[in-house]
Every structure is written in C-alpha cells, then in structure tokens.
Amino acid sequence: MAGKPPRVGVLALQGDVREHVNVLESLGAEAVRIRRPDELRTVDGLIIPGGESSVIDKLARSFGMAEPVRAAIADGLPVYGTCAGLIMLADSIADGIEGQQSFGGLDVVVRRNAFGAQVESFETDLDVPELGDPPVHAVFIRAPLVESVGPAARALASLADGRVVAVAQGNVLGTAFHPEVTGETRFHERLLEMVRARLN
C-alpha cells in the first residue's frame, strides 16, 4: 500500500467493535474507535458495527453523535454498516422501538429482527455479483432485512428467495449479515477503496 494507511473509525458506542477493528488492521488500515464528534472529524471512513440498533441510536443521540454522523454521511464520508449498522444507515426503519431513529444514508426500508424468533440466526452462502467468486459465507444474527430498495440505492445481494440483504448507495454500504466474524474481508476492502478514491 502506497502512502499513509487509511484511517477508518469504528463507531464504538455498543456492538462488535473489536471484530471490525481486527479486520481493518488485517487489511493495513489504521482503525480508531469513535465515540465523540471530535474523534469522528479525524477519520476518512466509518464502520457502524452490529449490536442492537435501538441502543446505538440512544447512545449516539446522548453522546451528541447523531447529527455529526448524519452530516458526515451527507458530505460523502465512506461508511459501512453491518446488521444493526445497516439499520442505522436505513432512511426508514420498520419495527423499530418507539421513537427509534437512524442516521440514514441508504434509500431503503429495513425491517428489524425480520427473521423472527424461530430462526434468529442462520448461515448461508451468498452470491454477491460485484464481489465475484467465491460466494460470501454470510452469518445472520437476529438480522434485519431490506424490505424495499428506493431509486437512489441498489441491491448487492439477495437470499435465494429474492429478499435483499446487502445494499449500496454512493459511498454507503450496508449488509444484514456479519462478514467481520467469518474472515470475509471483501466488504471492508470495498470500504477502503472508497476511502482511497475520496482522498485522491
């Protein structure tokens, strides 16, 4: 990698922060845990981890992070959200808790806990055409689903029955599953490509 390593934040209010830090470091990026607006200003990209979106939302608002993250996304900061992170990036949430808000950035409706109590977690191999071979081994943990994709966003991957589980829009990327727990690095690499493209 030429020049300085890209500096990428992981929103560290709640969730699987360490797993994302590990993937970023394995790819040669500098990974920084972000909790405050002044820390956000120092990074060239951001990851919103998996966890519990209603908790991330509440903490983001009480830490004064919701508006700065929204503004950064609107300004084109490359951002990747997994699972709860995808929910936080959806313009609209179905089945949120009362008053639950998102940062937005993806013109989609995302349904929380869409797979219900009977199948809260499962794994499957997903074909992601933009990433090529091999398929992505995707782990879904109380995962959301992209219920509808608006004109500004595009679907990157769907389950065999057609339900959308990965989306992109401009510099924003979201997956309902957790590549950070299976050694899958291609989504994080995609984020780093967006970061480098924006810095150049």
**Options 20, 180, 184, 188, the catalytic residue:** 180
Residue 112 or 190: which CB sits closer to ligand GLN?
112
Q: Select the residue interacting with ligand GLN from 51, 81, 174, 179 (CB under 6 A).
A: 51
Enter the tokens of residue 68.
């700065």
- Of 43, 144, 17, residue with least CA distance to 88: 144
Enter the tokens of residue 30.
């500098």
Provide, rounded to whole angstroms, the least separation between the CB of residue 84 and ligand GLN. 3
Residues 76-105 touching ligand GLN, rule: CB under 6 A, are 83-84, 87
- Contact between 112 and ligand GLN by CB under 6 A: the answer reads yes
Distance of CA 193 to the CA centre of its chain: 15
- Of 193, 147, 200, residue with least CA distance to 171: 193
Pick the stretch among 50-58, 128-136, 147-155, 164-172 that binds ligand GLN (CB under 6 A).
Answer: 50-58
How many angstroms separate the CA atoms of 189 and 169, rounded?
Answer: 16
Distance of CA 70 to the CA centre of its chain: 14
Which residue numbers are catalytic? Answer: 83, 178, 180
**Given the rule CB under 6 A, which residues bind ligand GLN?**
50-53, 83-84, 87, 112-113, 141-142
